[in-house]
Structure 1
């Protein structure tokens, strides 16, 4: 009888150990999923902020104001942060779109510094199209599944 009790206790200990290991894995996956979603939400917020700065710059250019370097610099910084975060999350298309947007912002800044309002606005329009694509790619959550599977 004592031998049977010891065997049952040993089985219970093994079952408890397995349960704890599974729970630990579940907790780890939940934490990773939370961090992935939080980073995605932060990217979306940065995209929104950058888009607003680009819009402000475009509206200023529309009024004939050429002093848009500050607004475009802030937008560029936001896209730089988005790019780094997307790279860490495995969202390659968001990285590509962010780089394209940053290139268009650089063109807009150069055009504005050369008093080329039309060129600056065209560059911002192109950047806006890329922003729409970056936002859509961020919403797809394609990088999330890879992040969860690969510790």
Structure 2
């Protein structure tokens, strides 16, 4: 009878040890899940911010294009604001591993610089063509942001 009680005590201790290990593992897994959820939340927040900045940049580019169409050459403020928006998009995309968004943002910013330079030279046609090219980069940037590719190595998947 004593032996049976000792065995029951041993088994109870084993069960308690297993429960402790299982609880520890569960807490570890929950901690990992929490970290992944937080990362996903942050990534989505950055994505939404990028989309808002892309839209804002597009509106400023449109305003600049409409001004150029009317013969107004003072479009620096609109182009600077669009460039600033793209700079923020580039920064958040880079930190979020969205390499193609970074590439499209850099290309759009280069086209905006060309448009600014052309407007400074009073070449409305070249400025509007550069804005059109920047608009295409904006379209690609927006589409890429909406697709949410998981890696900056998106070119490798094509």
Question: Shared fold by TM > 0.5?
Answer: yes
Q: Corresponding residue for 1:46?
A: 53
- With normalisation by structure 1, the TM-score equals 0.92
- Using CA pairs under 8 Å that are at least 6 residues apart, name the structure with larger relative contact order, 1 or 2: 1
Query: How many residues are matched?
Result: 146
SS of the residue aligned with 2:71?
coil
Question: Structure 1 residues 64-73 or 86-95, which shifts more?
Answer: 86-95
Question: What stretches of structure 1 move > 4 A for 4+ residues in a row?
Answer: none
| Cα distance in structure 1, aligned partners of 2:9 and 2:66 | 85
Q: How many angstroms does 1:144 deviate by?
A: 6.5
Aligned with residue 102 of structure 2, among 65, 88, 95: 95
Q: Corresponding residue for 2:31?
A: 24
| Cα distance in structure 2, aligned partners of 1:87 and 1:57 | 27
Change (3 A) 1:96 1:25: same
Unaligned 5+ segments in structure 1 are: 147-151
Q: How many angstroms does 1:50 deviate by?
A: 0.4
Unaligned 5+ segments in structure 2 are: 1-7, 154-158
Q: Which has the larger radius of gyration?
A: 2
Q: How many angstroms does 1:143 deviate by?
A: 3.1
Alignment root-mean-square deviation, CA: 1.5
- With normalisation by structure 2, the TM-score equals 0.88
Q: How many angstroms does 1:145 deviate by?
A: 9.9
